[in-house]
Chain A
């Protein structure tokens, strides 16, 4: 029996080759096929619910679609109008930026302060956490309605204080161009910062106590502990939430819609309310889609910025 006969029978593999082929099959099955099978349902849902509508939205942003019937392709005309003609878009964008600056500062400062204080409470801490977290669980329509009543110039808190001799707060917070946007941000923040606080608190509790002990031995005061131990310890969570809050700032809609619908005189108009009005009130769904795509681009820029920082070594 000659050895040359072996290649003519490839199926007759040597035991090591059989073993290697078996390992390959095993790897394919367990490391490729089965994981894909597990994510297949959610992948299909994502394709139909996110990917296809997103691509459709990009297409409609380049049409004159009214929201009903046929859509005619008009290229980049909607984007030209958006960036070079539409003053309302510019005003709304500047309001979104004000909103973003507010939400990247006020709730973060409040949440960090509250979390660092609560982290030290050993007894009854859960009660405080629950109380501060409850507003986040309330539906936005409930929170907004409560604050609309509280800020009412004739019946709200300011009016009641004025009755007992404390004037100055009985103004129409939501009816003035200079206060409307920040008043809505205040109401939204009331519901939001408790959520941030819980996230930060959870992150703080994972910081080893030895680090604080070491800092104390080194003579660190409370501020230095916070600055050099706590903040570095929770930095990934803080940075992630900064990124998410910046993205959400471009998507804000419901509080503004419920409280002022973008008024008075456009003072609280943001991109979200503008998109809604164009798509559903003005019958300019194609133009609204262009605005929606632009909002997504802004959000994409924020994500890119954080990816860039991560590559530079930031822990995010």
Chain B
């Protein structure tokens, strides 16, 4: 009896040591997430899912404060994680030029990424025709509104910019802030509005021409866009005035939208992940939210394409094949659909299957479906943080405050933008711009 026990224990130990050894044989792919900016359930789902299904590698996710600054410093020094996550395609340009990230064309062909992603998506990760990054977190901006407040006042969601302005006047006259906007905790929020007004007033064709150097940013269509935005600020429609806009943070403005102190909010689809905390029982009100496309001058539903992050393989990675295997898993339509449904994580621009939206809030599912449909029809625009090079992007959100504050005029603002952009255009630092059909 005792001998049998020892035998069983020995077999168990052998099995355990074999499995541990097998696990140790598999290389570990390291990934650094930005602490606090990714839904909390994302990392455990990825780690558990990949580690239990992969025969070739394991993944380890570490949350880093200021992840991009840390990653860039580490990668430049020859270290860093196997998977390099950057805030957008324009940030990969410098890394690719310095040979810090690996070309991915062979992996894309071999592992089927060309079929996984929607047609235009992989071109965003190209530098001089070579693929260096995969786009993640497909984003667009929409007009959220307090549906209950709208119904109570008989207001209709606007479809044109003229309707939006008229409605905002009406809302302001009722003593309600038309827009729950503020930038106290995220100054680049300014660029959401500049970008949306460029795309929805000047139009995406004009933006495309400017981004490809065929039209100057001083063109009057852009001046008109900035003038409309500036007028809204002057009217005090953004959270009650410019000073309040500068001191209102995300919880405050979303709480105002949820409670009905403000009526509308132009913001990204990333807000889906926590918008329910500001509406209904959880927030202590009976209100409901809904969304419509950001109104345009023509009334067409235009969705600006935004990429929240890009994923590349570190050139210093000791096991790039394992990293590629992880990317294949992570960007699979099944995993992307799972992360959307379970965590509200914005998906990558991959070909999601028909049932991918099952279990997802119909408003959220509807937004992504409308976005996909619109972009397939060529009705898409360009977000500033995805398609503008870094210096121009910073200029857009820093200097617009000086227009609002009356320190410079619209013309001076656009002349400055034109000068900064021309420098970056001449240096070849413009990210790939999807051609218009």
A residues near B (Cβ < 8 Å) are 66-70, 148, 151-154, 171-172, 174-177, 260-267, 277, 280-284
Contacts and interface: CB of A to CB of B under 8 A. Distances in A.
From A67, A261, A264, residue with most partner B Cβ within 10 Å: A264
B76 interface: yes
Contacts of B98: 68-70
Nearest to B186: A261
A153 B187 contact: no
Interface residues of B, number: 29
A263 B405 CA distance: 11
Contacts of A172: 243-244, 246-247
A176 B98 CA distance: 42
A69 B100 contact: yes
21 contacts: A68-B97, A70-B98, A151-B247, A153-B243, A153-B244, A153-B247, A154-B244, A154-B252, A174-B184, A175-B242, A175-B246, A176-B243, A176-B246, A260-B246, A264-B401, A266-B401, A266-B402, A277-B394, A280-B69, A283-B390, A284-B391
- Closest CB pairs A-B (n = 3): A69-B98, A175-B246, A172-B243
Contacts of A151: 247
Contacts of A175: 184, 242-247
Given A153-B247, A264-B405, A68 B390 contact: no
Nearest to A269: B398
Contact of A177 (B75, B94, B405): B405
Contacts of A69: 76, 94-95, 97-100
B97 A283 contact: no
B26 interface: no
B100 A68 contact: yes
B94 A281 contact: no
A265 B404 CA distance: 8
From B184, B244, B252, residue with most partner A Cβ within 10 Å: B184
B376 interface: no
Given A262-B398, A263-B246, 20 more contacts: A67-B76, A68-B76, A69-B94, A69-B98, A151-B247, A153-B243, A174-B246, A175-B184, A175-B242, A175-B244, A175-B247, A176-B243, A264-B243, A264-B401, A265-B402, A267-B405, A280-B72, A281-B390, A282-B391, A283-B391
Contacts of B183: 263
Contacts of B184: 148, 174-175
Interface string B168-198: 0000000000000001100100000000000
Contacts of B245: 175
Nearest to A172: B243
Contact of A264 (B94, B246, B391, B394): B246
Contacts of B72: 67-68, 280
B407 interface: yes
Interface in B48-93: 69, 72, 75-76
Contact of B394 (A153, A176, A260, A281): A281
A171 B240 CA distance: 12
A260 B249 CA distance: 11
From B97, B404, B405, residue with most partner A Cβ within 10 Å: B405
Contacts of A152: 247
A284 B427 CA distance: 13
Contacts of B404: 265
A66 B394 contact: no
Contacts of B402: 265-266
A29 to B, nearest CB: 41
A172 B99 CA distance: 47
A260 B246 CA distance: 8
A261 B247 contact: no
Contact of A66 (B69, B94, B187): B94
Given A68-B76, A154-B252, A280-B69, A266 B246 contact: no
Contacts of B405: 177, 264-265, 267
Given A266-B398, A266-B401, A284-B391, A68 B95 contact: yes
Contacts of A177: 405
A140 to B, nearest CB: 15
A282 B390 CA distance: 5
Contacts of B75: 68
A174 B97 CA distance: 41
From A260, A267, A280, A282, residue with most partner B Cβ within 10 Å: A282
A279 B247 CA distance: 26
B314 to A, nearest CB: 13
B107 to A, nearest CB: 22
A183 to B, nearest CB: 10
Contacts of A67: 72, 76, 94
B186 to A, nearest CB: 9
Contacts of A281: 390, 394
Contact of A174 (B247, B252, B394, B398): B247
A148 to B, nearest CB: 8
Nearest to B249: A148
A175 B245 CA distance: 8
A263 B401 contact: yes
Nearest to B408: A265
A265 B94 contact: no
B187 A261 contact: yes
A172 B248 CA distance: 10
Contacts of A260: 246
Contacts of B69: 280
Contacts of A282: 390-391, 394
A66 B242 CA distance: 34
Interface string B95-122: 1011110000000000000000000000
Contacts of A277: 394, 398
Contacts of B100: 68-69
A171 B246 contact: no
A266 B401 CA distance: 8
B97 to A, nearest CB: 6
A172 to B, nearest CB: 4
A174 B404 CA distance: 16
Interface in B376-412: 390-391, 394, 398, 401-402, 404-405, 407
A281 B68 CA distance: 11
A5 to B, nearest CB: 68
A176 B405 CA distance: 9
